[in-house]
């Protein structure tokens, strides 16, 4: 895996397995005076699919390392974290996110997350709001909102067929061509932004022992749920970032989710010329948006939501 300079790998145990995470405890971020222990924490949670890992945020989180304690885990079944042999379900990730944050952080945190993991985090924030200061989420959807059905396609049905599912993973996911095709066709608005290091990072995650269990659970749609059924219960101040060219879950999904809870969802920003993962495709712009939104969300007495759309 690719770890930015000044970051170290650590781990902690959850009830479902060991979670590996990356944090800024090396030079130049470690000041040797324990000041990192009192900095507010930013927790970066990557999405799921196609060899995902904390690498997804690795071009973004170093920009905050001088001011914050950074915590960027590989989710259970992905990257260097433990890969239990199981059919993963929504509640597995809800449980591990809750346990990880409770163990890794001693005060309320801001979580910066993406995609399905962002949707899982909203469920955690509903049940355990005291763990959170705010949420900044990209393309946060459970993939079953507003009549969408991620499971309603031939590829998903193939992934649920024994033996064929393993062949599908080996030939369609865990190789350079499959990774690059996934990023170019499903993740990015501009395929020219996919570069070799990115493909290699995804490939290393996809080839970890037992990596197919979590990946196939995702492909089958076992991890999908309707976030719209829960979003109105959210009380933690939240910003949503959406790529205008996001496949399957376009910005209209974000708009409709925001309309269901304008008190909690203070900011909705639609970003032009970007797809499903702005943190990979336009990391510098994503850094700028996070920096803009952090103080707005920290103003806890703010009650009027702001809706912004890229020009």
The per-residue pLDDT for 309 is 45
Neighbour count for residue 171 (Cβ, 10 Å): 11
DSSP per residue over the chain, as a string? ----TT-EEEEEEETTEEEEEEE--STTT--SSSGGGGSPEEEEE---SSS--GGGGTTTGGGGTTTSEEEEEPPTTSTTS---SS---HHHHHHHHHHHHHHH-SS-EEEEEEHHHHHHHHHHHHH-GGGEEEEEEES---B-GGG--TT-SHHHHHHTSTTHHHHHHHHHTSSHHHHHHHIIIII-S-GGG--HHHHHHHHHHHTSTTHHHHHHHHHHTTT-B-GGGTGGG--S-EEEEEETT-SSS-HHHHHHHHHH-TTTEEEEEEETT--S-HHHHSHHHHHHHHHHHHHHHH-TT--S-EEEE--
Q: What averages of pLDDT result for each successive group of 10 residues across the chain (311 residues)?
A: 92 98 92 68 95 97 97 98 96 98 96 98 98 98 86 56 67 86 93 96 95 92 95 98 92 96 97 96 98 91 48 35
> 8-309 has which CATH code?
3.40.50.1820
Q: What local confidence, expressed as pLDDT, does residue 219 receive?
A: 87
* Residue-range domain boundaries for the chain: 8-309
What pLDDT is recorded for position 37? 63
- Distance from first CA to last CA of the chain, Å, rounded? 36
What are the residues whose beta carbons fall under 8 Å from the beta carbon of 276, sequence distance 6 or more?
115, 139, 186, 187, 188, 243, 246, 247, 249
pTM: 0.92
Burial of 177 (0-12, 13-18, 19+ CB in 10 A): exposed
Residue 147 pLDDT? 83
């Amino acid at each position: 895996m690719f770890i930015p300079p000044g970051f170290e790998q650590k781990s902690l145990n959850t009830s479902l397995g060991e979670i590996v995470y990356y944090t800024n405890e090396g030079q130049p971020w470690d000041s040797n005076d324990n000041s990192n222990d009192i900095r507010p924490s930013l927790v970066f949670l990557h999405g799921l699919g196609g060899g995902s890992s904390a690498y997804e945020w690795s071009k973004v989180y170093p920009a905050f390392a001088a001011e914050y304690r950074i915590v960027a885990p590989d989710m259970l079944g992905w990257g260097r974290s433990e890969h239990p042999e199981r059919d993963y379900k929504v509640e597995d990730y809800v449980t591990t996110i809750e346990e990880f944050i409770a163990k890794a952080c001693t005060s309320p945190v801001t979580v910066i997350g993406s995609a399905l993991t962002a949707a899982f985090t909203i469920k955690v924030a509903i049940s355990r709001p005291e763990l959170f200061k705010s949420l900044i989420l990209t393309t946060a959807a459970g993939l079953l909102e507003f009549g969408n059905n991620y499971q309603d396609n031939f590829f998903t049905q193939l992934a649920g067929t024994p033996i064929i599912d393993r062949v599908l993973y080996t030939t369609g996911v865990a190789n350079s061509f499959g990774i690059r095709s996934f990023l170019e066709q499903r993740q990015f608005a501009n395929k020219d932004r996919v570069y070799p290091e990115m493909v290699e990072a995804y490939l290393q995650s996809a080839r970890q022992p037992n990596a197919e269990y979590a990946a196939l659970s995702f492909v089958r749609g076992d991890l999908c749920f309707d976030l719209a059924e829960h979003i109105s219960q959210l009380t933690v101040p939240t910003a949503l970032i959406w790529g205008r060219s996001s496949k399957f879950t376009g910005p209209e999904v974000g708009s409709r989710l925001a309309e269901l809870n304008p008190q909690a969802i203070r900011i909705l920003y639609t970003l032009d010329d970007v797809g499903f993962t702005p943190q990979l495709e336009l990391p510098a712009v994503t850094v700028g948006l996070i920096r803009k939104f952090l103080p707005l969300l920290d103003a806890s007495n703010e009650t009027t939501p702001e809706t912004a759309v890229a020009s």
